[in-house]
Amino acid sequence: MMVSFFDQFASPSFLGIPLIAIAIALPWTLFPTPPSRWINNRLITLQTWFINRFTNQLMMPLNVGGHKWALLLASLMVFLITINMLGLLPYTFTPTTQLSLNMGFAVPLWLATVIIGMRNQPTVALGHLLPEGTPIPLIPVLIIIETISLFIRPLALGVRLTANLTAGHLLIQLIATAVFVLLPMMPTVAILTATVLFLLTLLEVAVAMIQAYVFVLLLSLYLQENV
C-alpha cells in the first residue's frame, strides 16, 4: 500500500522513454504570447502586471549589477509556479518533486552567485565567513561553520522545495483514500473528511506558489550578498 502512495513521484516513461522532458517543457506552451497590438487582452495584461510587480519587488534591494538577473529570476519564478500548479491536477506528474531536478536548478544558480562575489568583491565575499569582532580562539571554528553553512545553501533550496511538495501530495492522497474507504461505511465522516481534503487542496495551491516564490527569493538574497 505504501508503495502505491509513492508511485506518483516516479518519473513517467513510455516504451522505456522518460517523459520528464515533456513534463518540463510543456508548461511553456501554456503561456500566452503578447501580440503586436497596443491593447492586450485581460489575461496578458494580468500576466504582465504580475511579472512586473514581482520583478520590481525582487530587484529593489539589489544594485544595478544585480538587475541583470531580473529576466532569469522572473522566468524561473513563473516556471516553478506553473509546474507546481499543474502538478495538483489529477493524473499529472510534478517534476519539482524530484530532488535531482531541484538541485539542478539550485546548485548552478547558487554557484553563479558565489563566483560573481569572488570575482567582483573577493574581500567582502570572504568576509562573510568571519563575522566582525570574533574572538581569536573562535576564528577557526567560525570559519569552518560558515563554510559549511555556505555549501549547505543549495541543498537547503532543493530539499525545501522537494519536501514541501512531496508532503502535500502525500497528504492529499492519504486523505482522498480515507474518503473513499469511509464513504460506504460512515458517510457523515466521509463528508467531513472530504471537506478537510478540499481545504487542504486550497492550502496546497498556496504552498505551490509560496514555495516557488521562496526559492527565487532566497536566490536573490544570495545574489544580494555578492553584488
- The string of pLDDT tens digits covering residues 3-52 is 566 666 677 777 777 777 777 877 777 777 766 777 677 877 888 888 88
Residue whose cell numbers read 553563479 = 112
Cell numbers at residue 76, please? Answer: 524561473
Cell numbers at residue 137, please? Answer: 580562539
DSSP characters over 111-163: HHHHHHHHHH-HHHHHHTTS-TT--GGGHHHHHHHHHHHHHHHHHHHHHHHHH
Question: What does the domain layout of the chain look like in residue ranges?
Answer: 1-226
pLDDT band at 1 (very low <50, low <70, confident <90, very high): very low
How high is the mean pLDDT of the chain? 85
Give just the sign of the alpha carbon dihedral 194, 161, 70, 23: negative
- The string of pLDDT tens digits covering residues 209-227 is 999 999 999 999 898 888 7
- The string of pLDDT tens digits covering residues 78-108 is 889 989 998 888 888 888 888 888 999 999 9
Cell numbers at residue 124, please? Answer: 567582502
Measured over all CA atoms, what is the biggest interatomic distance in the chain, rounded to whole angstroms? 70
User: Cα angle vertex 164, ends 62, 216, to 5°?
Assistant: 15
Q: In the prediction, which pLDDT does 211 show?
A: 93
